[in-house]
């Protein structure tokens, strides 16, 4: 049985690594002979087989193929409907994990417990959905670790990196910027910022546009008119993008059955010009991250590259120009998160993380100048506070004779309640007959497992109430649901 196993459940590819007896982590290939498994599931219509990986990506019907499901992990009510059956992001992810578990256990023995990585900016819901997906696949999760933390751990071990490090992770679907300090075995996260929906998939869309324009010019017709043709062309675009990381000029043959093929010349120069706006956006996020920490580029000792899209030469050059020194690439930039997760499983390092999202409560806030007020999101624990932590805010009751004080627990940065998630509620009954203006202290604590606890204390009566936030909204599975679905998924044939 393999003891120390880590899984990177990625937007476009997933990977599993374990720690060899000599202490070095290694990627375990799947049964298709690949080191990484595309996070794509194809729902076969004949035998009900769920095909995961490259074959799912390359073949078949787009209506039966699920891509990029990780982008929906924070939305438990999101479903994909195929053959009149609805599937949640958790269930689709469980199929990907099931394939990894089954394929890799043929090589390294039974896999029971794992460390799974999540993007630093995954919220409570998405983290919970990830743990549930693992459970459905028959895997216990000993820890969730943030992707940049895992990657940093791998770099620290394989490259002996120390000091203040900026992890630039540009994957298939997201950009994550993390600034951390590595001191031997200790890792202190100073900040994690991310942009969802900024990654390799956006580059593919741009290449697709270039191909479609050129095709129109040459053949006087549309390259794709339905989703199946669009998917095919998109895949060719992705292949071309990867080739352009190696070559300066390539020729790609694209086409469809009705309007024939076209040979399209693509140059690295043109591609770079087309994506330069996106790359500049990533640098703006780097600047923003440094600004929030009051740091200059020269305060960073090393920039490390994570994610397949950092293979694009222009990305590396832009970073080099910005920092004045070359970023470090371990080469296997799309594997280092899984490798670091395995290292983490072996030895729970002393990692001090930061809270990746702000927690607050809804309160009536009055503008002292104008005397007008509104219900706003009042932040109790700000984003990027080192965890574990415990922070309090005192509020006053706004009405006479209040007998029930209710606190709504929010997650998000905006002061406008419409743009934050309500993840829980606590109600505290207080003695009757009191005037408005009684003090109530709200305390939130955030523990090492990234769980939030809340306490409400009525200062006058000394009455208090504690809750551990358990989000029980639509689509979140109960323990019985998990058991039932695990049994159900076990019967499904995954190839
Ligand atoms: N040689 C290359 N040149 C350019 N892009 C590449 C290259 N190799 C891989 N990519 C791109 O990297 C992306 C996948 O990277 P990776 O596997 O790190 O992402 P992921 O972990 O699935 O996504 P995320 O971290 O956003 O969840 C894809 O968009 C892929 O096209
Ligand atoms: Mg990734």
Query: At 425, which CATH number?
Result: 2.60.34.10
381: phi then psi, degrees, rounded to nearest 5 = -110, 110
Query: Using CA positions, which residue lies closest to atom 28 of ligand 1?
Result: 172
The confidence score (pLDDT) of residue 136 equals: 92
Whether 13 is in the pocket of ligand 1, judged by its Cβ within 6 Å, is yes
Confidence class for position 489, pLDDT limits 50, 70, 90 = confident
Determine the distance separating the centroid of ligand 2 and the alpha carbon of 333, expressed in angstroms: 9
Q: State which of 35, 200, 272, 329 you would mutate to test the pocket of ligand 1, scoring each by most atoms of that ligand within 8 A of its C-beta.
A: 200
Structural domain that includes position 460? 359-468
The confidence score (pLDDT) of residue 38 equals: 96
In a domain, 438, yes or no: yes
Domain boundary among 226, 242, 272: 272
Q: What is the mean pLDDT of the chain?
A: 90
Ligand nearest to the CA of 39: 1
Determine the distance separating the centroid of ligand 1 and the alpha carbon of 221, expressed in angstroms: 31
In a domain, 414, yes or no: yes
Query: Using CA positions, which residue lies closest to atom 12 of ligand 1?
Result: 308
The three-state secondary structure class of 433 is coil
- For residue 41, pLDDT over 80 is answered with yes
What is the tally of structural domains in the chain?
2
In a domain, 154, yes or no: no
List, for residues 129-164, the tens digit of each pLDDT value. Answer: 999 999 999 999 988 998 999 999 999 989 888 899
**Highest-confidence segment of 139-143, 170-174, 264-268, 400-404:** 264-268
In a domain, 49, yes or no: no
In a domain, 4, yes or no: no
Determine the distance separating the centroid of ligand 2 and the alpha carbon of 151, expressed in angstroms: 9
Whether 69 is in the pocket of ligand 1, judged by its Cβ within 6 Å, is no
Atom of ligand 1 nearest to the CA of 238: 31
Atom of ligand 1 nearest to the CA of 307: 18
Whether 12 is in the pocket of ligand 1, judged by its Cβ within 6 Å, is yes
Residues 263 and 364 in one domain: no
Determine the distance separating the centroid of ligand 2 and the alpha carbon of 186, expressed in angstroms: 22
List, for residues 429-460, the tens digit of each pLDDT value. Answer: 988 888 988 999 999 998 766 678 899 999 98
Domain boundary among 255, 272, 289: 272
Percent of the chain with pLDDT over 70: 97
For range 202-220, the mean pLDDT: 95
Determine the distance separating the centroid of ligand 2 and the alpha carbon of 171, expressed in angstroms: 5
Query: Using CA positions, which residue lies closest to atom 25 of ligand 1?
Result: 171
Q: State which of 307, 310, 313 you would mutate to test the pocket of ligand 1, scoring each by most atoms of that ligand within 8 A of its C-beta.
A: 307
In a domain, 487, yes or no: no
CATH number at residue 209: 3.90.640.10
Whether 132 is in the pocket of ligand 1, judged by its Cβ within 6 Å, is no
Edge-first strand listing for the sheet containing 404-411: 373-381, 359-366, 404-411, 421-429
Task: Give the containing element (helix H, strand E) for 52.
Answer: strand 50-52
In a domain, 228, yes or no: yes
In a domain, 232, yes or no: yes
Q: Return all residues near 246 (Cβ < 8 A) that are at least 6 apart.
A: none
Domain boundary among 272, 298, 326: 272
> Taking ligand 2, which is a single-atom ion, which protein residues have CB atoms under 5 Å away?
10, 171
Ligand nearest to the CA of 12: 1
Residues 365 and 464 in one domain: yes
SS (H, E, C) the chain: CCCCEEEEECCCEEEEEEECCCCCEEECCCCCCCCCEECCEEECCCCCCEEECHHHHHCCCHHHEECCHHHHCCCCCCCEEECCEEECHHHHHHHHHHHHHHHHHHHHCCCCEEEEEECCCCCHHHHHHHHHHHHHCCCEEEEEEEHHHHHHHHHHHHHCCCEEEEEEEECCCEEEEEEEEEECCEEEEEEEEEEECCCHHHHHHHHHHHHHHHHHHHHCCCCCCCHHHHHHHHHHHHHHHHHHCCCCEEEEEEEECCCEEEEEEEEHHHHHHHHHHHHHHHHHHHHHHHHHCCCCHHHCCEEEEECHHHHCHHHHHHHHHHHCCCCEECCCCCCHHHHHHHHHHHCCCEEECECCCCEEEEEEEECCCCCCEEEEEEEEECCCCECCEEEEEEEECCCCCCCEEEEEEEECCCCCHHHCEEEEEEEEECCCCCCCCCEEEEEEEECCCCCEEEEEEECCCCCEEEEECCCCCCCCCCHHHHHHHHHHHHHCCEC
């Amino acid at each position: 049985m393999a003891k120390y196993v880590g899984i990177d459940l990625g937007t476009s590819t997933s990977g599993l690594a374990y720690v060899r007896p000599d202490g070095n982590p290694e990627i375990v290939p799947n049964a298709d002979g690949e080191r990484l498994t595309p996070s794509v599931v194809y729902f076969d219509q004949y035998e009900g087989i769920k095909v995961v990986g490259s074959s799912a990506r390359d073949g078949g019907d787009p209506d039966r193929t699920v891509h990029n499901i990780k982008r929906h992990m924070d939305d438990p009510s999101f479903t994909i409907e195929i053959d009149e059956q609805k599937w949640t992001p958790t269930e689709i992810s469980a199929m990907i994990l099931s394939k990894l578990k089954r394929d890799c256990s043929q090589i390294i023995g039974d896999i029971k417990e794992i460390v799974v990585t999540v993007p630093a900016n995954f919220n409570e819901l998405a983290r919970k959905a990830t743990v549930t997906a693992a459970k459905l696949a028959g895997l216990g999760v000993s820890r969730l670790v943030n992707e940049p933390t895992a990657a940093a751990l791998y770099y620290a071990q394989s490259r002996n990196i120390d000091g203040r490090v900026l992890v630039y992770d540009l994957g298939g679907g997201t950009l994550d910027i993390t600034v951390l300090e590595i001191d031997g075995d200790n890792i202190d996260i100073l900040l994690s910022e991310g942009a969802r929906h900024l990654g390799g998939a956006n580059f593919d869309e741009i290449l697709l546009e270039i191909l479609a324009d050129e095709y129109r010019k040459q053949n006087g017709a549309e390259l794709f008119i339905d989703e199946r043709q669009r998917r095919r062309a998109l895949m060719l675009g992705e292949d071309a993008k990867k080739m352009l990381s190696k070559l300066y000029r390539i020729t790609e043959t694209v086409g469809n059955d009705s309007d024939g093929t076209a040979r399209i010349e693509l140059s690295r120069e043109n591609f770079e010009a087309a994506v330069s706006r996106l790359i500049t956006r990533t640098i703006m996020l780097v600047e923003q991250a440094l600004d929030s920490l009051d740091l200059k580029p020269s305060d960073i000792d090393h920039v490390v590259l994570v994610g397949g899209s950092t293979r694009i030469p222009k990305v590396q050059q832009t970073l080099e120009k910005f920092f004045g020194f070359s970023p470090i690439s371990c080469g296997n930039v799309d594997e280092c998160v899984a490798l670091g997760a395995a290292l983490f499983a072996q030895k729970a390092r002393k990692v001090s993380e930061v809270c990746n999202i702000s927690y607050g409560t809804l309160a009536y806030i009055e503008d002292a100048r104008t005397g007008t007020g509104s219900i706003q999101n009042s932040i109790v624990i700000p984003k990027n506070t080192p965890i574990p932590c415990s922070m309090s805010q005192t509020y006053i009751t706004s009405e006479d004779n209040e007998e029930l004080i209710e606190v709504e627990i929010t997650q998000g940065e905006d002061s406008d309640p419409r743009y934050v998630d309500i993840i829980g509620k606590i109600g505290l009954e207080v003695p009757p007959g009191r005037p408005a203006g009684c003090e109530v202290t709200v305390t939130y604590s955030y523990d090492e497992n990234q769980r939030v606890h809340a306490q409400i204390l009525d200062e006058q009566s000394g009455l208090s109430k504690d809750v551990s936030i358990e989000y029980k909204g639509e689509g979140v599975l109960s323990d019985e649901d998990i058991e039932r679905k695990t049994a159900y998924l076990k019967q499904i044939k995954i190839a």
